[in-house]
Chains A and B, each alone.
Chain A
Amino acid sequence: MAGSGTVQLRDSDDIVLRVENLVMEFPAGLHQVVHAVSDVSFDVRRGETLGIVGESGCGKSTTARALVQLPMPTSGTVLLDPGDAGEVELTDLDGEDLRCVRPRIQMIFQDPISSLNPRRRVKDIVGEGLAIWRDEHPDVDVAARVDEVLGAVGLDPVVAGCRRPHEFSGGQCQRISIARALAIDPEILICDEPVSALDVSVQAQILNILEEMKERFGLTLVFISHDLSVVRNVSDRVVVMYLGKVCEIGDADTLFSEPSHPYTRVLLASAPEPSAVVDASESAIGDEIPSPIDPPSGCRFRTRCPRATEICASDEPVMREMGSDHFVACHFPGSP
């Protein structure tokens, strides 16, 4: 599918995070390489929520982890405050320099149980970030801050503080994770499938809390999910990924009302209650997702794409502009 190129990057001074030509490759057995993320570029404006959506194996979680340098990307750059005097190139840092920038980008994970150390008490878990940086910020009242963030995510600090994670439900554990990330006052919060492991009746609570926290603490969010409707609900801008590449990127309302990439249209048509802007028959594509060890030549979506022709096998489509803040990497974009 999808393609490379950087036309989708915006030239604006309130960009807080810019990812350019990100590549993540992992060794897989002898002389084989998993191309998890291949040449992905996007940027996030301050106060914006960027949604990244795609199926398993599309590289969305790998991208999320690359933003916090876990592990370092194979190549490409991740910039904080690009163009500013205080520009920081995360991919250039290591050791102590990287550690000192870490508090600016925090992350919450999919599995709320695995995210919390079972042997520690909630107030120690939430206060961990403050404890780590106590020498740099000696005047911070750790207990007060822990109470503040626990209260903000809707937990009673007095009751919750002294308990251990196994005494809480999945939704409450996810709140604790959010509180831990917020305690050290980050600028960017990366949410990797934060509601996928939760009961349906609890998902909306967590999504609403994230929205509230974004307002209250002035956060910029990067929100990763396989669920299109969740991504649409939280995002200002959406990136659609397939097999390590970006297919389509754009303003959420535009992208969902005028989906241009065939893959985006398939996703919209495959939802349990398909979107009205696509035809239900558009979901009819093959089931076989190619291996990221040996991705198809040209456009990576061509093996399942109803519109594929020879050019899709030979030439990789480059990102091109479809409208204002709407970019797509396809030789035959638009509605069929």
Chain B
Amino acid sequence: MDTPPQVDPAEQFGVVVARRLGFGFWIAAAWIIIIVTAGALAPWLPIADPNETGVGGRMDGPGWSNWFGTDSNGRDMFARTIWGARVSLIVGFFSVLLGICVGGTLGMIAGYFRGIVDRIISFSVFVLLAYPGLVLALLIVGLAGQTLPIVAMTLGIVAIAPIARLSRATTLVYSEREFVASARVLGATNRRIMVRELLPNVLIPMGALTLLGMAITIVAEGGLAFLGLSVEEGFSWGKMIVLGSSPRTLREGPWVAMFPIGAMFVTVLALNFAGDRLREYFDVRELGIGVG
């Protein structure tokens, strides 16, 4: 029976069990909202055409006329960073959406029915997991073409396996709970139990995962871009970083790569942080301070 060190009584007071999202969350959320709004409204914003060459000089540094400077073709990097957000966020959002719809459903079916159904789904998920995600993505994009829907779908397929695992694990936990047994005793059909009893409980960790997943896929899309497999038409942050990271460009105008890198970094950080806080926030109601 070890005895934990006693803390100074003055410090003991004032520690509270937090049940609020906190200031940091709102900053992260604000950034996400700004970047999503900017990306969505890009065509209507009073910014330069991202593909128009010669809006400034070639390789102009950041300044009043071009906030983020220009690239070697004299294109405005501020406008390009906002337009790049469009593709990155669309890829991030829709791939995770696909992953959750397919993976989440498969995981729930496996976790609820168990037995042979579970074994088949779990085995498929293992196969998918064992196959390196990047190689799989290379294969699909290489074969099907480098369009926006294909890139989003590819990353979505890669996301299915981990999401299915989380969904299955959560479903397994809640299936053991007696409210599920009660629903069966009342005569609820399997479908009703999955939709009414399990889904609301599985959705909460899933919701938080959406944000974390978006962060991961935005980075993954950057990875594809480095392999030259990002979208052919238009450009994402990843593609911008690739374009800006040739040794010569880095030497002459580091801002060309720096601003998309910064935008991606802050966005990924904000998504991770917000996702994590949301998960904690929804977990707390299951806890309680035990006194007895």
Say if the beta carbon of A4 comes within 8 Å of chain B.
no
Q: Identify the closest chain A residue to B188 (Cβ).
A: A132
Q: Which residues of B contact A115 (CB under 8 A)?
A: 177-179, 182
B285–A103 touching, CB < 8 Å: no
A132–B186 touching, CB < 8 Å: yes
Q: Which residues of B contact A106 (CB under 8 A)?
A: 185-186
Stretch at the interface among B68-76, B196-204, B235-243, B258-266: B196-204
Query: A222 vs B178: C-alpha distance in the bound complex, in angstroms?
Result: 18
Interface size on A, residues (CB 8 A): 30
Q: Knowing A117-B197, A120-B200 are in contact, say whether A128-B178 is a contact too (CB < 8 A).
A: no
B181–A99 touching, CB < 8 Å: no
> Which of A109, A111, A129 lies in contact with B186, CB distance below 8 A?
A129
Q: Which residues of A contact B200 (CB under 8 A)?
A: 117, 119-120
Q: Which residues of B contact A103 (CB under 8 A)?
A: 186-187
A99–B187 touching, CB < 8 Å: yes
Q: Which residues of A contact B285 (CB under 8 A)?
A: 118, 166
Q: Per-position contact with A for B152-188: 1 when CB-CB < 8 Å, else 0?
A: 0000000000000000000000000111011111111
B181–A128 touching, CB < 8 Å: no
Query: A125 vs B182: C-alpha distance in the bound complex, in angstroms?
Result: 10
Query: A68 vs B188: C-alpha distance in the bound complex, in angstroms?
Result: 13
Say if the beta carbon of B286 comes within 8 Å of chain A.
yes
Q: Per-position contact with A for B215-226: 1 when CB-CB < 8 Å, else 0?
A: 000000000000
Query: A68 vs B183: C-alpha distance in the bound complex, in angstroms?
Result: 12
B186–A128 touching, CB < 8 Å: yes
A128–B184 touching, CB < 8 Å: no
> Which of B177, B179, B185, B286 lies in contact with A102, CB distance below 8 A?
B185
> Which of A68, A70, A117, A166 lies in contact with B179, CB distance below 8 A?
A117
Q: Per-position contact with B for A115-148: 1 when CB-CB < 8 Å, else 0?
A: 1111110000100110011000000000000000
Q: Which residues of A contact B20 (CB under 8 A)?
A: none
A116–B179 touching, CB < 8 Å: yes
A128–B201 touching, CB < 8 Å: no
Query: A125 vs B192: C-alpha distance in the bound complex, in angstroms?
Result: 13
Say if the beta carbon of A267 comes within 8 Å of chain B.
no
Say if the beta carbon of B3 comes within 8 Å of chain A.
no
Say if the beta carbon of B189 comes within 8 Å of chain A.
yes
Q: Per-position contact with B for A178-208: 1 when CB-CB < 8 Å, else 0?
A: 0011001000000000000000000000000
Q: Whole-angstrom distance from the CB of A224 to the nearest CB of chain B?
A: 14
> Which of B179, B181, B187, B201 lies in contact with A132, CB distance below 8 A?
B187
Q: Which residues of A contact B201 (CB under 8 A)?
A: 117-119
Q: Identify the closest chain B residue to A98 (Cβ).
A: B187
Query: A181 vs B204: C-alpha distance in the bound complex, in angstroms?
Result: 27
> Which of B177, B183, B185 lies in contact with A105, CB distance below 8 A?
B185
Say if the beta carbon of A107 comes within 8 Å of chain B.
yes
Query: A117 vs B177: C-alpha distance in the bound complex, in angstroms?
Result: 9
Q: Which residues of B contact A180 (CB under 8 A)?
A: 182, 186
Say if the beta carbon of A100 comes within 8 Å of chain B.
yes
A114–B185 touching, CB < 8 Å: no
Q: Which residues of B contact A264 (CB under 8 A)?
A: none
Q: Which residues of B contact A77 (CB under 8 A)?
A: none
Q: Knowing A114-B177, A117-B197, A119-B201 are in contact, say whether A109-B189 is a contact too (CB < 8 A).
A: no
B181–A102 touching, CB < 8 Å: no
Q: Knowing A117-B197, A118-B286 are in contact, say whether A70-B186 is a contact too (CB < 8 A).
A: no
A109–B182 touching, CB < 8 Å: yes
Given pairs A105-B185, A109-B178, A128-B186, 13 additional interface contacts (CB within 8 A) = A99-B189, A102-B184, A109-B182, A114-B179, A115-B178, A117-B177, A118-B285, A119-B201, A120-B196, A120-B197, A120-B200, A177-B182, A180-B182
26 contacts between A and B (CB under 8 A): A68-B185, A70-B181, A99-B187, A107-B182, A111-B178, A114-B178, A114-B179, A115-B177, A117-B177, A117-B179, A117-B200, A118-B285, A118-B286, A119-B204, A120-B196, A120-B197, A128-B183, A128-B186, A128-B188, A129-B187, A132-B186, A132-B188, A132-B189, A180-B182, A180-B186, A181-B185
8 shortest interchain CB distances as A-B pairs: A119-B200, A102-B187, A109-B178, A129-B186, A115-B178, A117-B179, A114-B178, A114-B177
Chain A residues within CB distance 8 Å of chain B = 65, 68, 70, 99-100, 102-103, 105-107, 109-111, 114-120, 125, 128-129, 132-133, 166, 177, 180-181, 184
